[in-house]
Structure 1
């Protein structure tokens, strides 16, 4: 099992951050497009080669994000219409997310088998998300899903703040 850490509230105007391993080494680099349409986040390996891409669909009534890993679309995250609390649907090629992903405490399953889990860590490397990879073949997919969910949350927070003014 491998463990990674993603610092909480990682999305800034520059949209650049790293994913660290348990020894605090940079393992993945995430870079967001700034002031570009469509909004994208690129997940890169230590050699700075793109291994995943998260794209926000433009001109959509409700927000929708696409997650590609190694050039193949793996899942979509779609906001559902609701009046009270923000609700999202995650659809993927045999991939499910179970648990409270809004609070970053969930499991990622592929065809019913747990391949990764995410939990909020309060007293490590600043407040961060701990990502445990149970199936190493799914490492990039799991990291991309966590980054995509954080992107969705950041987008929702920005929309709420923009509408509150």
Structure 2
């Protein structure tokens, strides 16, 4: 399943539309005013289905993930000297690759690819292609991509 992740052009807060292979909006993401990033994910019927919320006042970035209003886990950046590493505590997935340049993979503990994310160039706003192996994982993968994008945005400011 391929998703196209596009940041909205004129938005004060983090706002994104996520399109499927038929160029239909599958998810929309709306940033909310808060300490740290707080992103609400809605399905194609504009029903709230998930939230990514950044923890503030932590040494390394941490983002809590919620489906509906139920906490499901955290994505966090691990301390490393040479290569940044993100990890999920809910399903033992990790992010590997050149995520600083936006070409990375999400793999499980056996090294099997869950999804690949790559940045497309020559767009007015940030645009990424998310290729998810199993469609059931799409929401989780989207949450990871949103958290890493938020971390990258915070680091650049």
| TM-score by shorter chain over 0.5 | yes
Pair 1:120 & 2:119 matched: yes
Instruction: Report the number of matched residues.
Output: 154
Q: Distance in 2 between the 1:11 and 1:109 partners?
A: 34
Aligned residues of 1:80 and 1:89 also touching (Cα < 8 A): no
Structure 1 residue runs of 5 or longer lacking an equivalent are 159-165
Q: Which residue of 2 aligns with 1:110?
A: 108
Q: Do the aligned partners of residues 8 and 124 (structure 1) sit closer, same or farther apart at CA in structure 2, a change above 3 Å counting?
A: same
Pair 1:3 & 2:6 matched: no
Deviations 1:109-153 (A, max 9, x none): 234321211112236897621111111111111111111111111
RMSD over aligned Cα, in angstroms? 2.9
Q: Report deviation, 1:97.
A: 1.2
TM-score (structure 2 length as normaliser): 0.80
Q: Which residue of 2 aligns with 1:51?
A: 49
Q: Distance in 2 between the 1:11 and 1:127 partners?
A: 12
Structure 2 residue runs of 5 or longer lacking an equivalent are none
Q: Do the aligned partners of residues 62 and 9 (structure 1) sit closer, same or farther apart at CA in structure 2, a change above 3 Å counting?
A: farther
Deviations 1:55-95 (A, max 9, x none): 1112223332222345242332236376xx78454232221
